Amino acid sequence: MREVTDATFEAEVLGAGGLVLVDFTAEWCPPCRMIAPVLARLAAEHADRLKVVSLDVDRNPATQSAYGVLSMPTLMLFEAGAPVKTLVGARPLHRLRLELANWL
């Protein structure tokens, strides 16, 4: 999974044109570590239509603040540069698939 920063967020996420799932994460966050393999699997399954990236909130506070992210992990789905779905907390792969089914 590619990591984005405050400096690369606009190009990597907002300018991507398609679907991008952003994992707002932190190194100190156990649920973030739990969901990482789930996101890697989802990215592999939908590599043709979904880009999955992570953003460390401790190192990139401007983007975290701009999108009002208060809890980690927060997953935010962007479509053509606009946020269309926000999910807070870790979840198993089957639940994540269901919650994103309208886009995948």
Active site residues: 29, 32
**CA-CA distance, 103 to 21, in Å (whole number)?**
11
Q: Can you say whether residue 8 is alpha, beta or left, with left for phi > 0 and alpha for psi between -120 and 50 degrees?
A: alpha
Secondary element (H or E) of residue 32: helix 30-45
